[in-house]
Amino acid sequence: MSKTRLLLAAVLILGVSAGALGAAETGGGQAAETQLQVLLDAIRANRKALVAANLKLTNDEAAKFWPVYDRYRKEANAVGDRLVAVIQDYTASFGDLSDDKAMKLVDDYLAVEADRVKVKRAYVAEFAKVLPGRAVARLFQIENKMDAVIRYDLAATIPVVDEESSAPAK
């Protein structure tokens, strides 16, 4: 199987996991939290395996790359956890979402997005110290493709705010 096909197959697996993640978020209690954590761990493990399969690293590059990548993913995962918290907050308050709460959620989401970009920007230079530029570009392409699939699946499970329910009465 070519590496491109491997990437596509793995991204589809991640997408299914992300869809299950959205389903876990709507459940309640400790069981839902445990299921959510298991799904997040599976996505994170698959991500590293996909990067490993799709970057052509020499032994020397790999020895230098993986510690940097692990630090990067630790920071990126922390930001991702914040996104999950925003989504959980939204789904918990979706039924009676006030204008103020909606604006707070928008602000929280944009703060998470800004931090996600900050982490990526910070690590470009770090990766460039241990990999050639084309490999750094490929890494971010792989990461972006996986993020896109996860976000697509999440978007399919998150309901859109109903304008009518919070509009003031005339």
Indicate the pTM of the whole model.
0.74
Neighbours of 131 (CB within 10 A): 22
Alpha helices by DSSP H, the chain: 3-26, 29-54, 59-93, 99-130, 133-157, 163-166
User: How is residue 103 written in tokens?
Assistant: 């604006």
Whole-number percent of the chain with pLDDT over 70 = 73
Q: In angstroms, rounded to a whole number, what is the distance separating the alpha carbons of residues 111 and 90?
A: 15
**Cα(136)–Cα(9) distance, integer angstroms:** 22
pLDDT at 6: 47
Say what the pLDDT of residue 25 is: 45
